[in-house]
Amino acid sequence: MRDMTKGAPLQHLFFYAVPLLFGNWLQLAYNAADSVIAGRFIGQDALAAEGIAAPVMNLVILAISGLCIGAGVLMSEAYGARHTERLRQTLATTLLFGALLCCGVALAGIAVTPQLLRLLAVPPEIADITGIYLRITFLGAPFTFFYNALAAGLKSVGDSKTPLKFLAFSAVLNIVLDLIFIGGLGFGIVCSAVTTVAAEAASAVLAMVYMVRRVPQLCPQRGQWRIRPELLGPVLRYGAVTALQQAVQPICKLLIQGQVNALGVQVIAAFNAATRVDDFAFTPEQSLAAAITTYIAQNRGAGQKQRIRPGFAAGLRLELGYWVLVGSVTWCLRRPMIALFVSGQGAQSVVAQGAAYLGCMAVLYGLPALTNGFQGLYRGMGKMTTTLLGTCTQAGLRALFAALLAPRVGLPGIAAACALGWAAMLLFEVPYYFYTCRKQGIR
């Protein structure tokens, strides 16, 4: 556990964020492993199908993680205030309510898959395998929720290392199973989806066993296993807004994917490969934002307002330092990284288009570094509506400009749309930061 209400902010943020950063990379690794193995052993159609399915599943996953992030803020506040009973009751309420919700989401997703395929204008030649992949991965939603909820409980008390260990195990498991059943035995895209679900289930079980055996102070007692309306209200108020905010991004990606789908299978494959690398590069910026959220929430719960602003400044320095490092590496290695995802006929064209798009994005990673930092602050302050407004501004403009530019200039138009959306988000978030500090007496 890590008590962030005392000690140097930069040290707390760094050592809390590093395991989250590696955890994000590992989570992305077993998603990317599916794409690499599918593209090289099954073919371009499988790579394109997984690329189309990815934004749909990201919508579900980010909605789930949004609910868990919201609950995690409440648990961090309870831990900072030393209210152990409220901490346990919040976790129990989140687990029970989320389990019911995610089972419903899984069943609904399976039922509406044909409608989703039509909505996304999926090319007929890959519609069947995309539908199969989607239905199987929808079944993994409850496992994804259980892991995220248990990990949120651990992270709320400052333990960001243990969830990393579970993700490491599940990432290795997924890659090994893919190599055996797809690379070695020649199974198709069904196996790719099944191994991903199996890896998610493994991480959820490991988190549950660990919490019961090693962190009993987090585990709800027998009489606490019920949905408490007085706690469900704040969980939904924080979690639902955060879930909606988290879901806005993949909705935006779905709209953009629809624009990309109209450009042909090769462009779809190039965009999917570049997006996988893209995720590795800037998604961990959200890990630093999560560290800022936990730091702010713990200090807010403990009444330590004077520590908020210095901690936020330290968090922004980490975000920008990460951008300089990872943006440079991505720009230099953009072609060989894209080449990992595809081989055979048409591969050169896919690599060229994907590398050009990725080079543009590497230069722009500083913008989401800043927006993620501000989002982390506002979540820690309990201002979930502010994060939602910022994300909606960014995503709405990004989708609008993508629709205008992609048909005219292709993938470079998608990169330009991203830049315009992030810049508009900062124009909203930065002035509101100074207003919030003045209003709440934060110096």
Q: Cα(389)–Cα(66) distance, rounded to whole angstroms?
A: 15
Count how many Cα atoms sit within 13 Å of the Cα of residue 125 in the half-sphere of its side chain. Answer: 9
What are the backbone dihedrals phi and psi of residue 397, each rounded to the nearest 5 degrees, phi first?
A: -70, -35
Exposure of 72 by Cβ count < 10 A (0-12 exposed, 13-18 middle, 19+ buried)? buried
Q: What is the pLDDT of residue 63?
A: 76
CB-based contact 170:200 (threshold 8 Å): yes
State both tokens at 212: 């019961």
Mean per-residue pLDDT of the chain: 83
Q: Cα(58)–Cα(251) distance, rounded to whole angstroms?
A: 9
Residue tagged 């991505």 (tokens):
330
For the entire predicted model, the pTM comes to 0.70
Q: What is the pLDDT of residue 109?
A: 87
Q: Residue 96 — pLDDT band, cuts 50, 70, 90?
A: very high
Closest CA to 350 of 410, 285, 270: 270
Q: What is the pLDDT of residue 373?
A: 92
Per-residue pLDDT for 240 more than 80?
A: no
Q: What is the mean pLDDT of residues 301-327?
A: 88
Per-residue pLDDT for 421 more than 90?
A: yes
Q: Cα(51)–Cα(257) distance, rounded to whole angstroms?
A: 9
Q: Residue 38 — pLDDT band, cuts 50, 70, 90?
A: low
Tell me the per-residue pLDDT of 245-297, one tens digit each, with 9 for 90 and over.
777 777 787 788 788 877 777 788 888 788 878 877 777 788 888 889 888 88
Question: Per mean pLDDT, which range of 187-196, 274-283, 362-371 is the poorest?
Answer: 187-196
Q: Residue 41 — pLDDT band, cuts 50, 70, 90?
A: low
Q: What is the mean pLDDT of residues 59-87?
A: 81
User: Which of the pair, 409 or 1, is modelled with greater confidence?
Assistant: 409
Within 157-284, residue ranges assigned H as helices are 161-178, 189-214, 229-261, 265-282
Q: Residue 442 — pLDDT band, cuts 50, 70, 90?
A: confident
Q: Cα(196)–Cα(134) distance, rounded to whole angstroms?
A: 12
Q: What is the pLDDT of residue 13?
A: 87
Q: What is the mean pLDDT of residues 197-211?
A: 87
State both tokens at 171: 């990432």
Q: What single letter denotes the amino acid at residue 62? A: L
**How many CB atoms sit inside 10 A of residue 397's CB?**
19
Q: What is the pLDDT of residue 370?
A: 92
Tell me the per-residue pLDDT of 381-400, one tens digit each, with 9 for 90 and over.
888 888 888 988 998 999 99
Q: 110's torsion region: left (phi>0), alpha (psi -120 to 50) or beta?
A: alpha
DSSP string, 283-302: TTHHHHHHHHHHHHHHHHHT
Q: Cα(381)–Cα(298) distance, rounded to whole angstroms?
A: 10
Q: What is the pLDDT of residue 177?
A: 81
State both tokens at 323: 């951008």
Within 157-188, residue ranges assigned H as helices are 161-178
What are the backbone dihedrals phi and psi of residue 247, each rounded to the nearest 5 degrees, phi first?
A: -75, -20
Tell me the per-residue pLDDT of 118-176, one tens digit each, with 9 for 90 and over.
887 777 777 888 888 888 888 888 898 998 899 888 888 878 788 878 878 888 887 88
CB-based contact 370:419 (threshold 8 Å): no
Closest CA to 162 of 370, 19, 371: 19
Can you say how many angstroms the Cα of residue 322 is from the centroid of all Cα atoms in its chain? 17
Residue tagged 């989250």 (tokens):
20
Q: Cα(284)–Cα(376) distance, rounded to whole angstroms?
A: 13
Per-residue pLDDT for 187 more than 70?
A: no
Q: What is the pLDDT of residue 183?
A: 63
Q: What is the pLDDT of residue 283?
A: 72
Q: What is the pLDDT of residue 32?
A: 67
Residue tagged 């934004």 (tokens):
55
Q: Cα(17)–Cα(20) distance, rounded to whole angstroms?
A: 5
Per-residue pLDDT for 95 more than 80?
A: yes
